[in-house]
Amino acid sequence: MQDKGTQVLARAATLLRAIGGGDLTGMSTTEIARTADLPRPTAHRLLTALAEEGLVDRDTTTGRWTLGPELYLLGTGAAHRYDITDQSRDVIERLARETGESAFLSARRGDETVCILSREGSFPLRSHVLHEGIRFPLGVASAGLAILSHLPDRDIDEYFTRSDLEPRWPASHSEAAIRERIAATRTTGYAVNPGLLVEGSWGMGAAVFDRTGRPAWALSLTGVETRFRPERRGEMGALLLELAHELTVRLRR
Instruction: Convert the pLDDT of each residue in 11-34 to its tens digit.
Output: 998 899 888 877 778 899 999 999
Q: What is the reported pTM?
A: 0.73
Predicted pLDDT of residue 85: 85
Q: Which of 81-90, 158-167, 219-228 has the highest mean pLDDT?
A: 219-228
Amino acid at 206: A
Q: Is the pLDDT of residue 82 over 60?
A: no
Q: Which of 65, 75, 78 minimizes the C-alpha distance to 27?
A: 65
Q: How many Å apart are CA 196 and CA 171, to the nearest integer? A: 10
**Which DSSP string corresponds to 190-236?**
SEEEESSSSTTEEEEEEEEE-TTS-EEEEEEEEEEGGG--HHHHHHH
Predicted pLDDT of residue 20: 83
Range 4-73 has CATH code 1.10.10.10 = yes
State the Cα angle at 108 between 122 and 70, rounded to 5°: 90
11 within 8 A of 50, measured Cβ to Cβ: no
Q: Is the pLDDT of residue 1 over 60?
A: no
Domain boundaries, the chain: 4-73, 83-251
83-251 maps to which CATH number?
A: 3.30.450.40
Backbone angles phi, psi at 148, to 5 degrees: -60, -40
Q: Is the pLDDT of residue 221 over 90?
A: yes
pLDDT in tens, 163-172: 888 878 877 8
